[in-house]
Amino acid sequence: MFDGADTVVLYEELAFQGVLPVLWRPSPGPLDADTAAGLADRNQQVLQAWDAMEEHGPVEKPDENSPYTADLMRLERKMNLLLDLVGQILAANRPRPTPAAVRFNALGAVWRGTPPLPETGAQGILEVHLHECLAQPLRLPGRVTSVTPDGNVKARFIPLGETVADLIEKMAFRRHRRQIAGTRGRPRSTSD
């Protein structure tokens, strides 16, 4: 499903790729406007919370001579420990789906499904759990466009709203930049 290329693309757009708990929930028909608006609001909150938890690196190099640098670093480590603990408590109290390879953007997703697989044309909501510390998953409504015999499921989302689409695009872009930065920092093997 994943070719190992530096640039992760889906529907000709940059995509976020990872191994995350995902679940397809079938729905009997299209969402009504109120339900779609509620999903968009909740997805926006989930994406903003994920963004706040992600480490984007310091904007400026910390001043080693600042009297508060050591205190801020200790506080950050304690916050990370607290987030890990909350994640463990949530995982114990709210079992998540089995993690699977997934690639998604604001247009759609492809993931490794588990039986029973949805049928092509089925409508539903793809739930993607972005982080163990987030109680709610992203809920992305759409329609299955293909299912391969080996279990890869591809779906096209209904429009998610401009704000949610922008946040997903930023998330994919940041992941892409980190992957490129990691690739540049590694020494090339002799077989390259």
Question: What mean pLDDT is reported for the chain?
Answer: 84
Predicted confidence band of residue 125 (pLDDT cuts 50, 70, 90): very high
Count of CB atoms situated within 10 Å of the CB of 47: 20
Nearest Cα residue to 113 out of 125, 98, 123: 98
What is the pTM (predicted TM-score) of this model? 0.78
In a domain, 85, yes or no: no
Tally of domains in the chain: 1
3-state secondary structure of 183: helix
d(CA 83, CA 133): 6
In a domain, 84, yes or no: no
In a domain, 138, yes or no: yes
In a domain, 48, yes or no: yes
Q: What is the pLDDT of residues 9-21, one digit of tens each?
A: 888 899 999 999 9
In a domain, 80, yes or no: no
Give the DSSP letter string of 10-40.
ETTEE-EEEEEEEEEEE-SSPPPHHHHHHHH
Please check the confidence at residue 134 and state whether its pLDDT lies above 50: yes
In a domain, 89, yes or no: no
Q: What is the pLDDT of residues 49-90, one digit of tens each?
A: 888 877 655 445 556 667 788 788 788 778 777 777 776 787
- E strand or H helix at 49, and its extent? helix 33-53
Q: What CATH number is associated with residue 51?
A: 2.40.10.220
In a domain, 192, yes or no: no
Structural domain including 47 reads 9-56+98-184
Position 64 scores a pLDDT of 63
In a domain, 134, yes or no: yes
